[in-house]
Amino acid sequence: MDPLIMGLFGLAGIFVLVVLGMRIAFATALVGFTGIWVMKNFGVAGKVVGFLPHGIVAHYSLSVIPLFIIMGYYAFYAGLTDDIFFTARQWVGHLPGGLAIATVFGCAGFAACTGASTASAAIMSRVAIPEMRKYGYHPRLAAGVVAASGTLASLIPPSVILVIYGIITEESIGALLIGGFIPGIVSAAIYAGMIYTRVRISPELGAVQPKASWKERFYALKGTWGVLLLIFLIIGGIYSGVFTPTEAGGAAAFSAFLMALGMRRLTVERLKESLLETGRTTIMIFSIIVGVLIFVRFLALTGLPTTFAEFVVGLPVPPVVILLLILAIYVFLGMFLDAIGMMMLTLPIVFPAVVALGYHPIWFGIIVVKMCEICLITPPVGLNCYIVNSVATDISLEDIFRGIIPFVAMDILTVGVLIAFPQIITFLPQRMGVA
């Protein structure tokens, strides 16, 4: 059989297995192993499966992932989540939709303390939704803003997904993390602007809160020192070249640990829970990475990525049209795959084509991660929506999915802005001299 046909059959096989309910890690590993066996022999396939996992897991760059994850748990137990939400509430709570806007900025602040969108959505659901419901906010707005704003952790450093993108494409992880900072802030600002406009037009969506005095606002700023310290260590350390991403993750995680200890909020039970949850999340991510890279070895044998890149470059249409078609594929795949699996499955094929079209690899990484954010809140997968529903059990899943519709529209607008003005992404990495 023609190798290209085998590659297409492999992609179709993974799609079928995932739809039938098999985990992406196992589906990709199974199809990859079988494909290598058929194309080469059982011995070669066995060696790939036997040696590849250790070679991947022992990769130095991957050690930053558990550091970013556990930092989020330590920051949560140190009370940084409550502090940043309270500060945002004091400053913008009096605006139309003020509590929802405070939730956006609270999520953006907490995103600088954790690399996982799901953790951000779970934690902010416990903090922000009860407050919004208490003051009469519509359930759809309350749940939708948490589910959507939780995705900011995928973009604002530290971001696990950006790390994985860097490993797959062999691009600078430091440049990717720095490159996601301004787009993350822009995305949060667009969310906030939409909420302000909606609630100003329809005041019944959320009651306006009493205006805090300037003294109360400035006093509330004392609660931001922990988040600012972590931002300084991660973004400042990487940008200045003092830290590598892994070193920045270690320094920030240790600082969050000391904060939690100093505030006497990190009990033995909470420490145990932090370690266990970090272990579970890390194992899940590493399993997906191993499974997909086994499949990538099979794809390399078929020559499909190279053929696809040559085909795309030769199409008689403007590059932006091809880019939009690729982004549309991400929207479709997001209905069935989680963000990490989708990215790892597609990048070996589409990345060479995008680079051949002349697009900047760091810029494309941020665009891809933004598309992954959209997939985190769109049905039927919409993982963040299910997480919010598991916390706010009195809000139906249907209401949550309806509540995120305006935020999905704003995400599409953000992608359009980033395509039209790529300097938003590349400015800081270029200042670092790495993009």
**Domain segments of the chain: what residues?**
63-266+303-432
Distance CA 314, CA 89 (A): 53
Question: How far, in Å, are 166, 210, 218, 364 from residue 321 at the CA level?
Answer: 25, 49, 48, 15
271 burial type by CB count under 10 A (0-12 exposed, 13-18 middle, 19+ buried): middle
Q: According to the model, what pLDDT value does residue 18 have?
A: 79
Tell me: cis bond preceding 380? Omega within 30 of 0 counts.
yes
Region at 241 (left for phi over 0; alpha for psi -120 to 50; beta for the rest):
left
Overall pTM > 0.85: yes
For residue 363, what pLDDT is reported? 96
Residue type, 391: V
Nearest by Cα to 328 from 350, 307, 295: 350
Q: What's the pLDDT score for residue 434? A: 60
The string over 339-364, giving b where at least 16 C-beta atoms fall within 10 Å of a residue's C-beta and e elsewhere, is bbbbbbbbbbbbbbbbeebebbbbbb
Reply yes or no: is the peptide bond before residue 158 cis, omega within 30 of 0.
yes
Can you give the pLDDT at residue 361? 94
pLDDT per position in the chain (435 positions), as tens?
788 888 888 888 888 887 788 888 888 899 999 999 998 888 888 888 888 787 777 777 788 889 988 888 888 888 888 888 889 989 998 899 999 999 999 999 888 888 788 888 888 888 899 989 988 899 999 999 999 999 999 899 888 899 889 888 888 899 999 999 999 999 999 999 999 999 999 999 988 888 889 999 999 888 888 888 988 888 888 888 888 888 998 999 999 999 888 888 888 888 898 899 888 888 888 888 888 888 888 888 888 877 877 777 788 889 999 999 889 888 877 776 777 777 877 888 889 889 988 999 999 999 999 998 888 888 877 888 988 998 888 899 899 999 999 999 999 999 999 999 999 999 999 887 665
pLDDT at 435: 59
Alpha-carbon torsion angle 212, 216, 222, 228, nearest 10: 30
Helices marked H in 303-313: 304-313
Report how far residue 347's alpha carbon sits from residue 336's, in angstroms, rounded to the nearest whole number. Answer: 17
> Within a 10 A sphere around the Cβ of 185, how many other Cβ atoms?
16
- Cα separation of 434 and 166, whole Å? 13
> How confident is the model at residue 285, as a pLDDT?
83
Mention every residue, 6+ apart, whose C-beta is less than 8 A from residue 325: none
What type of residue sits at position 227?
V
Which of 49, 47, 43 is CA-nearest to residue 31? Answer: 49
Q: In this structure, what token pair is assigned to residue 161?
A: 């997904």
List all residues 6 or more positions away from 398 whose beta carbon is below 8 Å from its beta carbon: none
Of 270, 246, 277, give the one whose Cα is nearest residue 172.
246
Residue labelled with tokens 């890279």: 293
